[in-house]
Structure formats: structure tokens, C-alpha cells
A and B are shown apart, each in its own frame.
Chain A
Amino acid sequence: MAEPTITLNITRYRPGQDRAPTTQSYAVPYKEDWVVLDALNHIKDQMDGTLSYRWSCRMGVCGSCGMMVNGTPKLTCAAFLRDYYPGEIRVEPLVNFPIIRDLVIDMSDFLDKLKSVKPWIIRKEEKPVSQGEYLQSPAQLEAFHQFTQCINCMLCYAACPVYGLEPKFLGPAAIALGYRYNMDSRDQGQEQRAVIGNHDGIWDCTFVGECSVVCPKDVDPAAAIQRSKVDTTKTWFQSILMPWGQR
């Protein structure tokens, strides 16, 4: 009996040669324990070495292999062929990003935005190492812990229609990571992350909520953004009502 196969319809784009992306179909062996990334690797190794895509860890940690699988942003290392078989699978580069080649997108915009929220602990004055570490209770850790799980895979940007329509939008992951440091009891840098509270920050978000649905690490960027809206509004009202106060 012939080995069962599954068809992958993959976006191809060769910069400088193709005017627009095209679709190429590949029939790859169907194996129950294969994920879409295994199928892509099979194509690259056995069928067509010109196919380009990003991947690294193949275990949902590195965040490199995010692509559109049948129109939904997914880590291809976690998308099993058996969930689509015997149907065909459409693999496209993450939407809302420019295509460099085939399934590889240009992530410069995301990296710029990530840097703009200063995702690191900022102290007004650093204390010397000899004075020990900055202590934190389990409850204080719990306040932001889930947001530390982000792997920068950009699936949330591909799921966000606001980012697609308004490319200036800071976007789910960058805001969630900024919020993570704002919520960190060891951090004192909230004022340096004003970009979060700007118009192109949280206020562009219309709360579609898909960012949290597609997140492979159960981070909840939609919650981070809405809670930031509440915090920012409170701070603003306090500054109006009590201009002589600290904040």
C-alpha cells in the first residue's frame, strides 16, 4: 500500500524575481506524530532546498517558527498534521508583516517597538551588589508572572487586526512586556515607559482579544493592555485632582 501523504500549499516569494507571492503545493508523507515544521523540514531536505523559513528549537521555546497555518497564526512546531489530515494545509508567512522571502517575515518593526518599552528593570538609583538582591514576595511575583512567559513569537501581532490596519500601534507583546516591568515591584521606571500610555500605545487597542487567544504561552496581552488603560486613567485623574501629590 502506498504511503499516505498530505498536501501543503506553501507561500513562495523570491525577492527581486517575483512581483507577488505565489503558492506551491507539496505532497509530503503523512505521519501521525509530525508537526507542520517536520513537514517543512522534509520538503527542505528531500524535495526542494530553496524553501526558506525560520525555525530553531522545535519545542515551543524559541518563538522562531510562527506562521499562518490555515489562516491562524501558530507555532508550526506545535501544529500537528493529524489535526488537519486528510485536508490540505495552507502555510503562509505571518500576516501584518512584510515578507522577506517565502515564509520569512521582516520583524524589524516589532524589535524596534520591543526596545521602545525598555523591557528591563530600571532603578532610580542602582544599589551596589554588596547590598544584596532586590527582594520580592511570591504575591509580588504573581502580579506579573504570566507576562514573563512571552517568547516574542509575534503570533499576537499577526492575530491583531488593529496592528494590520494601523502599523504605528505598539502592539500586544511589546505592551505586555512593558506592563510586566511596570508591575514588577523591583522596577522604578514606569515614567520612562510613557510610550505605552501614548495614543499609539494602549489607546489604539479596541480589545478584539485575539492576541490572547493565539498566544502559545498563555500570556494574556489583552488583559495587560486593558489593565494598563485603567492604571493610566487612574494616574491621570489623580494628577488632575491632586496636582500637588507625588504623581
Chain B
Amino acid sequence: MSGTRPDPSKLYYREVPATWWLKKKSYFFFMLRELSSVFIAIFLLVYLYQIYQLTQGPEAYVAFSRRLSSPGWILFNLIALLFALYHSITWFQSSAIVLPLRVGERELPRNLFVALNVIALVVISLIILVLFLRLKG
């Protein structure tokens, strides 16, 4: 079959521009999904450090927690929360494709899978919030 190949010296190769992900909405949202991991990772590292402060005594913990309540950190947490929510939704959407729900031989609609997971996320989050408020109060 190699005889049918075109002469490589006459082909024109196009470059993928560095801004390819700005060319299409779906590419942009894909990049946002990938970027969400950075914010979630930073949040978790800070959180781990906060827990580590517990081993350094109550003063150290309170001092660090106070630093975290500055407007800058609150803004960061807000952004990280939005990214975490976006990441969760896209995770459910991806899971619906990877592990389709089946009833008998029929595949259930993917939106139903996503909806069930979102409901579970909301319910579990609410339970944790209630427990947290009870323990605090």
C-alpha cells in the first residue's frame, strides 16, 4: 500500500495554535475542568497544613485559622468551592458515560445518572452541615 502514499515533501502541515482551547466553548470548559484540580489541590494542601497546626498546640491552630479568615483567603475558598462543584458535576457527567446504569438490557438516560448523583451530593452535604452545626452549637 505504500505506493499509494502522497509525497511527504508536498504535504502542508498545519500547526495547532497555543490558543486552541479558546476556539471552542467545549474546549474551554474542558480546560476549566482540568484547571479545577489546581484549586482543589491548593485547598487540600492548606487544609492539611491546618490540621498539622493542631499538633503544634491550640495557639498555633487558632493563629493559623485567623490568618485563613482574611478576605483574600475567603475569596480563594469561594473560587475553590465553585471549581470543586464544577469538578463534581463534570465527574458525574463523565461517570455516566464510563459506567452506564442498566435496567435489564436498557441503558438509562445519562442525565438521570447525573441527577441522582447531584441529589446524593446535596443530601450528604446537608447532613454533614447539620452535624457540623450541632457539634459546634
Contact = CB atoms under 8 A, between A and B. Distances in A.
Contacts of B73: none
Contacts, number: 69
Interface centre among A16, A208, A222, A227 (most CB of B within 10 A): A208
Interface stretch (B20-28, B60-68, B81-89, B112-120): B20-28
Given A164-B20, A226-B97, A98 B26 contact: no
Contact of B97 (A21, A100, A210, A222): A222
Interface in B33-92: 34
Given A161-B20, A209-B26, A15 B105 contact: no
A1 interface: no
Interface residues of A, number: 35
Interface in A154-207: 161, 164-165, 206-207
Nearest to B27: A161
Interface of A: 13, 15-16, 18, 20-21, 71, 95-96, 98-100, 106, 108, 111, 138-139, 142, 161, 164-165, 206-210, 212-213, 220, 222-223, 226-227, 229-230
Q: Chain B, interface size: which category?
A: 20 to 34
Given A208-B27, A209-B30, A223-B97, A99 B14 contact: yes
Given A99-B12, A142-B105, A226-B94, A161 B21 contact: yes
A54 to B, nearest CB: 13
B11 A99 contact: yes
Interface string B1-29: 10001111011111010001101101100
B109 to A, nearest CB: 14
B11 A106 contact: yes
Interface string B98-117: 11100001000000000000
Nearest to A92: B14
Instruction: Give the most central of B10, B23, B24, B105: most A CB within 10 Å.
Output: B10
Interface of B: 1, 5-8, 10-14, 16, 20-21, 23-24, 26-27, 30, 34, 94, 97-100, 105
A100 B5 CA distance: 10
A100 B11 contact: yes
A139 B102 CA distance: 12
A86 B14 CA distance: 29
Contacts of B5: 106, 108
Contacts of B1: 111
Contacts of B11: 15, 98-100, 106
Contacts of A164: 16, 20
B21 A13 contact: no
Contact of A220 (B6, B21, B27, B97): B97
A98 B97 contact: no
Contacts of A111: 1
